[in-house]
Structure 1
Amino acid sequence: MNTPRLLDMMGQLIALPSVSATSERWDMGNRKVIEQLANWLEPLGFKVRIMPLANPDKANLIATYGSGEGGLVLAGHTDTVPYDEAKWQSDPFTLSERDNRYYGLGSADMKGFFALVIEALKPMLEQNFKSPLIILATADEESSMDGARALVKADLSGARYAIVGEPTGLRPIRAHKGMMMEGITITGRSGHSSNPALGNNALEAMHEVMGALMTLRGQLQQQYHHPGFAVPGPSMNFGCIHGGDNPNRICGQCELHFDIRPVPGMEVAATRERLQQLLTPIAERRKINIGLRELMPGIEAYEQAANSELVQMVEQLTGLGAETVGFATEASFFQKLGMQTIVMGPGHIDQAHQPDEYLGADQITDGITLLQQLIAKVCLHQNKA
């Protein structure tokens, strides 16, 4: 089986819907994308493994070429965000070229990355690989990150370095903030508003909770500071609130959704424990039920040391200093598996998650060149920075 041309690969991947979302109305599987990648990589000599997740329509792909130690992982996710077709100038599931830009859902974020990886490695496979090359494709990065969470160290045996090919304009990123999405539900007791003693007002309790959260936000920002970020401390955003049903009824229930963006060094579990410690005395004093729950599993902040081998290597290859970003990726999961990790890929994040997403032609040619340099340096020559 001959591997398709680059643009044909991009077009075929984009034509396979793989939306991942917390809403059941939008959520779908990525299995067809995984199987398509496997069908291209196996004939090239890759040892291919498809790892099903709890949902049988969702899976990871681990494709390995060569063996040994000190290898390279090229990692990305195969799912996309939901889309608003009416706002697109062309079919989101058809690769369309306009003005040296290739439009389609997932073109930059990040199905296009896999097409570039395969195109880059094809002419190199006849050479002697001294270290393994591993192509990793995951599920559900855009929602739960369950694909990355399912990985264990043995899945990526022999790998020393990982490149997460998120759209960064081919600039190396060595740190990003984490993400926590939390919900607080307060259940009080409704009653006639003419007599406050008839109930226990959940809205009034939430008012106190929000004040305590803002105090905690200030404490966290004093405790944790990372000068590498445009917003150097952790943020806490109150996103939405719902409560009560009528002006003349004591509010019986109120719910708040908020997010926290931890900086490196600020652990998700410890932060959740501080949230619970804040809520418990309020609940006891007001004799009201206050529940804290994760709206999605937390994502740890990520940072790769500036003087690490991989950072120095990619800085040398790109001629660019490694930077930081505010958005979260799967990088922290790969780092926990023992790999030096960098986020770097074709396309730009400001094209992602919006209508008319595209990958520029310059990013394609430059991306292929950079990928070939990385593969040669790590897998063929085993050179260090």
Structure 2
Amino acid sequence: MTARSMRTYEILEKLVGFPSIVGTPNNDIVEWIAAYLSSFGIKSHVLAGPEGDRANLFATIGPVDRPGYILSGHMDVVPAGEAGWNSDPFALRADGEKLYGRGTSDMKGFLAAVLAAVPALVAAPLARPIHLAFSYDEEAGCRGVPHLLTRLPDLCLAPLGAIIGEPSGMQAILAHKGKAAARVTITGRTGHSSRPDLGLNAIHAMTEVLQASVAAAAELTNGPFEREFEPPYSSISVGTIRGGQAVNVIPDHCSLEIEARAISSAEPQTLLAPVRTVAAALTARGFEVDWQLLSAYPALLLASSSPLAALLEDLTGIEPLAAVSYGTEAGLYQQAGIDAIVCGPGDIARAHKPNEFILTSELAACQTMIEMLGQICCRQT
């Protein structure tokens, strides 16, 4: 390895070593990043979330009195308990150009490339700032970044754009669908199955919610359509259903988890409204019904003619991709009035799987992109 690539490797090794699993405290990784930035004279704003045991991090390189660009990534990773790992998922392992470990592609590789570029950015005479915005609990439906975005007006001038470094093979992405996920819980009345007239069967009641979900999903296939997406329409999918104790016991409890994926012209939670209405109507028959929103974020749709899209094409040398199926924090940046685009190292197909990896060439390409952005920020007035 060159000295440059070794620095990136060592940073990624440190980041992977923090088991910053979504939904758990993240003080260790936040404190390490803040200390690293401090060693270059960069002040970090550690922004505690309402949970009290995890935080976002925001830092600025360059002048604070001018609009600049945000490099955005999340510090959390999904659990690594699945079978099939050939090594400790929280210990970076190199095998040729492949670097294995949980979060290498999604998305500590991007964080490592950003942090490895810090010395070059600090040394550059930036005329516009580059901001680092690292969030928590993205993997739980982008729960951390909304708290960061509410603080943004106090931290910097309105940014020119945000680059969200989710794994995209270093090809910029202009659009993705929005999402809303919910858990429906029905509570009935138990009893012996020989006397169903004396109980309230929660599973039977849930079948009405399930039927409404299937009907709503079928209706969405009729449009509206946005051809850049696959499929080109919004969708609804039931992911889990749980309930019951034994075949001869009337089940008094059943829960169902459902999600909507929305094209840019649709609002994700609105897509679930017909299902919620059917669930709520069960209360008239004596059931208790609880509807819990698990996560929600809007779609992203950046015009191909936007300056940010042109900038990323210049930085990567690759024409931006129209859209992807997975979601990111980019839609929340756009909702906050900030142009956003997705571009980062790695491949989403490797994420959330055993033996997740990133290529050293992908890290190098990302670091080069960030350093080139720094050079552009030196020339902009």
TM-score over 0.5 for the alignment?
Answer: yes
The size of the alignment, in residue pairs, is 372
1:266 Cα shift?
1.6
Which one of the candidate residues 139, 142, 152 is aligned to 1:142? Answer: 139
Alignment match, 2:229: 229
Alignment partners' CA distance in 1, 2:349 and 2:337:
30
Q: Deviations over 1:21-52 (max 9, x none)?
A: 4xxxxxx3221111111112123232321112
Residue 31, structure 1, aligned to residue 27, structure 2:
yes
Three-state SS of the structure 1 residue aligned to 2:144 is: helix
Structure 1's 376 and 252: CA in aligned 2 closer, same or farther, altered over 3 A?
A: same
SS at match of 1:324: coil
Give 1:223 deviation, angstroms. 4.4
CA distance in 2, matches of 1:14, 1:216: 41
After superposition, the C-alpha distances for 1:249-272 in whole angstroms (9 at most, x for unaligned) are 444333222222122122134334
Residue pairs, 1:64-83, within 5 angstroms: 64-65=60-61, 66-83=63-80
2:16 and 2:91 in contact (8 A); partners too: yes
The one-letter amino acid of 1:146's match is R
Counterpart residue number, 1:375:
374
1:185–1:292 contact (8 Å) kept in structure 2 = yes
Match of 2:371, as an amino acid? Q
> How far is the alpha carbon of 1:283 from its aligned partner?
4.5
The equivalent of 1:24 in structure 2 is: none
State the AA in 2 paired with 1:176.
Answer: H
Secondary structure in 2 aligned to 1:169? coil
**What is the alpha-carbon distance in structure 2 between the residues aligned to residue 292 and residue 227 of structure 1?**
36
Are 2:281 and 1:270 aligned? no
Counterpart residue number, 1:288? 286
Give the whole-Å Cα distance in 1 for the aligned partners of 2:8 and 2:254.
Answer: 52
Following the alignment from structure 2 to structure 1, what is the Cα–Cα distance between the partners of residues 193 and 34? 64
- Which SS does the other structure have where 1:5 is aligned? helix
Q: Which of 365-374 and 78-87 deviates more?
A: 78-87
Q: What amino acid is aligned across from residue 375 of structure 2 in structure 1?
A: A
**Is 152-161 or 6-15 further displaced after alignment?**
152-161
1:350 to partner: Cα distance: 1.4
| AA partner of residue 222 (structure 1) | N
Q: 1:115 to 1:185 in 2, by over 3 A?
A: closer
| Distance (whole Å) between structure 1 residues aligned to residue 344 and residue 165 of structure 2 | 4
Q: Structure 1 unaligned segments of length 5 or more: list them.
A: 22-27
1:46 lines up with 2:29 in the alignment: no
Deviation at 1:273?
3.7
Greater alpha carbon shift after TM alignment, 163-172 vs 205-214: 205-214
TM-score under structure 2 normalisation?
Answer: 0.89
Change (3 A) 1:290 1:218: farther
CA distance in 1, matches of 2:266, 2:141: 20
Structure 1 equivalent of residue 255 of structure 2: 255
Cα separation, 2, equivalents of 1:156 and 1:226: 36
- The question of whether the paired residues in 2 share the 8 Å contact of 1:134 and 1:156 is answered with no
In structure 2, distance between residues paired with 1:41 and 1:191: 61
Q: Are 1:108 and 1:358, in contact at CA under 8 Å, matched by a contact in 2?
A: yes
**Correspondence list, 1:1-385, <5 A:** 5-21=7-23, 28-65=24-61, 66-84=63-81, 87-151=84-148, 152=150, 153-158=152-157, 159-281=159-281, 283-284=283-284, 287-289=285-287, 291-294=289-292, 296-317=294-315, 318-377=317-376, 379-382=377-380
Rounded to whole Å, the distance in 2 between the matches of 1:304 and 1:342 is: 7
- Three-state SS of the structure 1 residue aligned to 2:145 is helix
Contact kept, 8 Å, 1:67 with 1:130, in 2: the verdict is no
Shift of 1:282: 5.1
Residue type of the alignment partner of 1:67: V
Partners of 1:124 and 1:196 in 2: CA distance: 70
Percent identity between the two aligned chains:
33
Q: TM-score, normalised by structure 1?
A: 0.88
Q: Which runs of 5+ in 2 are unaligned?
A: none
Q: Is this contact kept in 2: 1:117–1:368, CA < 8 A?
A: yes
**Which amino acid in the other structure matches residue 311 of structure 2?**
M
Would the alpha carbon gap of residues 315 and 179 (structure 1) be closer, same or farther in structure 2, given more than 3 Å must change?
Answer: same
What whole-Å deviation, never above 9, does each CA across 1:307-337 have from its counterpart, x for those lacking one? 2111122123322233311112111222222
- Tell me, in whole angstroms, the C-alpha distance in 2 between the residues paired with 1:17 and 1:145: 18
Q: Give the superposed CA RMSD.
A: 2.4
Q: Distance in 2 between matches of 1:288 and 1:63?
A: 53
- Supply the distance in 2 between the matched residues of 1:353 and 1:75 (Cα, whole angstroms): 20
2:98–2:357 CA contact under 8 A, matched in 1: yes
Separation in 2 of the partners of 1:14 and 1:55? 23
